[in-house]
Structure 1
């Protein structure tokens, strides 16, 4: 029995499909980076700073009560 050359199950990514794939990945990663930074610096960091200020105020009040 002669073995026949087996064709790949799919063709290589070329041309318009390749450009579209690169464009989609670039847009997806870019938007992910932008929205990730918007969340981090627009919501997360202000909440962390507010929390830290609250606990700093409580600690100062506790230290003042103890006379330190």
Structure 2
């Protein structure tokens, strides 16, 4: 799995998790969804993604977006 796919998988998982927590625990968890969305937008403009750095250190091969 490349870094690109790992980042997309992680972001999707975090969105689904925050929606479930917002529904079952507290609506304040929806702020995590906002944070993930804002992080994806800024990463598309700047190319800087903290999750990509973590996945690179874990040994995932570089994809097209995060070389």
- Shorter-normalised TM-score: what interval? 0.3 to 0.5
Which of the two has higher C-alpha Rg? 1
Task: With a CA cutoff of 8 Å and minimum separation of 6, indicate the structure with the bigger relative contact order.
Answer: 2
Q: What TM-score do the two structures reach when normalised by structure 1?
A: 0.35
